[in-house]
Amino acid sequence: MAAALLPAAAETLGTRAPVAFLYAPGTSTSLYLKDADKAFEPGSLVKVMTAAAVFEALSGGEVTPETTCKVSEHAWRTGGAPSRRATMFAAIKSEIPVMDLLRGLLIHNANDAAIVLAECLDGSEEAFAGRMNTLAASLGMNGSHFVNPTGYGTLENPDSKGEASRTTARDMAKLGQFILEKHWDYYPLFSEPEFTWNNIYQRNKNPLLGEIRELDGMGAGQAASGFSGLASVERNGRRVIAVVAGLSDEKTRLAAMKEVVEGAWDYFAVERIFAKGETVTEAKVFGGTASTVPLRTVSDVDVLLPRGGTLDYRLRVVYSGPLKAPVRMGTPSGEIQVLGNDGIVYRAPLETAGEVDEGSLEERALGAVSYYLFGWF
């Protein structure tokens, strides 16, 4: 199908963040990309992946919220009070339920909670990092690699300058969408306002909470490559996931996150490109009583597109063809894509809107000659 122009904005979203990604999961639309596949060190933003791995263990029945985990000397010394880093002050050799450790992880940003959970599930930080990387691979987080559950330094020495975890803005948005879609029951943990453990009261340490209207998760990090953040915001029934990275300090990180999040409402509006069941194009058919079959949308194609203007968004239909007869009604057959300057920003499946029976021997022979001599265009 020939590319078609869609509306684009006279004014466009911009941010001071060197790395940024804005995604609307409800319409599967990538709204804004700025070096979205450039790797950065996430620091304690890694703990969002740590939480996701534990959520998976809970949903798979490996552990329950009541399962108790023992605090090892390593977890206490490396992530607890002696470390002088963020901690839930878990007592050495004590046993703590998984749900309380998750609260320590996500509310206190606690390193001891992250290590205890890792050791509880897999025996060591290193083994748990393998679990994290397996999950990342299954989610298509191709630019990510995790070395431990805390995000600090290396496995052997948290303060060393050796291998560190890495990720990308696009990958973190995929992780956020995964949690929202598959582990919604645990998502409220990200925004619980406070948690008391060992008689020590602490407010939620996510520096983005309460600073951006309707932001209800996920986390923030700091590393050698700068300050980063992953945010999920819902307003008036529309949710967006935003990621920024490479900022110089907390203040500029917050300002950049506001620029990206607010841009979703300032510069974009939902546009219906095609209604459910509407014919989009035709697909070539090989060896049938007809040479083409219509392709239609499986559902309404609602895309968040820039307000006003007239430039730079195009439509493209992609399918693996020609389709081989017989072709049945409702057969999944490719997808419609919306392309912007930075690549595909939206994709939705297509299916056949008609049937084509297998042709006679003569029709199939003619089709084969056409295919091998001229190809399909």
Whether 47 has a pLDDT exceeding 50, the answer reads yes
Whether 141 has a pLDDT exceeding 50, the answer reads yes
Note the pLDDT of residue 376: 44
Note the pLDDT of residue 313: 78
Whether 156 has a pLDDT exceeding 50, the answer reads no
Whether 142 has a pLDDT exceeding 70, the answer reads yes
Most confident of 296-300, 301-305, 307-311: 296-300
Q: What is the pLDDT of residues 63-113, one digit of tens each?
A: 999 999 999 999 999 998 888 889 999 999 999 999 999 999 999 999 999
**Could you state, in order of their start, the residue ranges of all structural domains in the chain?**
31-216, 272-374
Token output for 17? 């963040």
CATH number of 31-216: 3.40.710.10
Q: pLDDT band for position 198 (50/70/90)?
A: confident
Domain 272-374 part of CATH 2.60.40.420: no
Cβ atoms 244, 42 nearer than 8 A: no
Common-topology check for domains 31-216 and 272-374: no
Mean pLDDT of 246-272: 94
| CA nearest to 194, candidates 88, 90, 113, 111 | 88
Cβ count within 10 A of residue 188:
11
Distance CA 244, CA 338 (A): 23
- Per the prediction, the chain carries an average pLDDT of 88
Q: DSSP readout, 196-225?
A: EETTEEEE---TTTTTSTTEEEEEEEEETT
Whether 10 has a pLDDT exceeding 50, the answer reads no
Mean pLDDT of 48-65: 98
Q: What is the pLDDT of residues 325-368, one digit of tens each?
A: 899 999 999 999 988 777 788 889 999 999 999 876 555 444 44
Q: What is the pLDDT of residues 209-244, one digit of tens each?
A: 999 999 999 999 999 889 999 999 999 889 999 999
